Homo-oligomer: A and B are copies of this chain.
Amino acid sequence: MRENANTRTRIQDVALELFTEQGYEATSLREIAERLGVTKAALYYHFKTKEDIVISMVESRIAAMDELIAWGESQPRTPETRREYVRRYAADLQHGRHHEMMRFFERNQTAMRTNPAGEKMRERMMAMLDILTDKDAPLADQLKGSLAIFAIHATWFVFRQPDVTDEQRQQAGLQVALELIGD
């Protein structure tokens, strides 16, 4: 079970990387298995289907988002709540494989269209948006709410310089996101 847990995690790691780089559909189980030095059949011992690999990966991310959303919904709808929400979201993405997961979803929106994990994720993104913007706010403000979230995600992949630290990334993303939701 030590071995079990280990291989399971390694499969998830490799899958996440390949799914993000090449796309979910474009990545075959053979490819993942080869990268790990095992056969396809071995993967099926750990996961029932290909879809299952994604579902298993997304769980901890969904849990973290649920916690954050619950917090947001329990707070008064004030500017300060929104600011704090953005700060917490940015901090949240620093842990585990969380920002990698969000990138995976961003790059596989279409493939996740019919996937249960994708449905859950879309639901959460909507809930987050509801915390950041009113549904009857001006269009520009609604757009800014979406961009604020996107800014924090983009933090992890837009910069072209190789020498940017995680510290600097997070700081830049957070600053822009905060400006977008109105200071």
Interface residues of A (CB under 8 A from B): 20-26, 107-111, 113, 135, 138-140, 142-144, 146-147, 150-151, 154-155, 158-160, 164, 168-169, 171-173, 175-176
Closest beta carbon of chain B to A24's beta carbon, Å: 8
Closest beta carbon of chain B to A156's beta carbon, Å: 11
- A169-B23 contact given A110-B107, A147-B154, A154-B146, CB 8 Å threshold: no
Q: Are A140 and B175 in contact (CB under 8 A)?
A: yes
Q: Are A23 and B22 in contact (CB under 8 A)?
A: no
Closest beta carbon of chain B to A138's beta carbon, Å: 7
Stoichiometry, as copies per complex, reads 2
CA–CA, A135 to B154, complex, Å? 17
Q: Are B173 and A143 in contact (CB under 8 A)?
A: yes
Q: Are A113 and B173 in contact (CB under 8 A)?
A: no
Q: Are B172 and A159 in contact (CB under 8 A)?
A: no
Q: Are B23 and A139 in contact (CB under 8 A)?
A: no
Majority secondary structure, A binding face: helix
- List residues of chain B with CB within 8 A of the CB of A144: 176
Closest beta carbon of chain B to A133's beta carbon, Å: 10
- List residues of chain B with CB within 8 A of the CB of A24: 110
Closest beta carbon of chain B to A142's beta carbon, Å: 7
Q: Are A109 and B110 in contact (CB under 8 A)?
A: no
Q: Are A21 and B110 in contact (CB under 8 A)?
A: yes
Q: Are A143 and B160 in contact (CB under 8 A)?
A: no
- A164-B176 contact given A110-B22, A154-B146, CB 8 Å threshold: no
Other contacts beyond A26-B111, A143-B155, A143-B158: 8, CB < 8 A: A25-B111, A107-B109, A135-B160, A139-B164, A139-B169, A140-B172, A140-B175, A150-B154
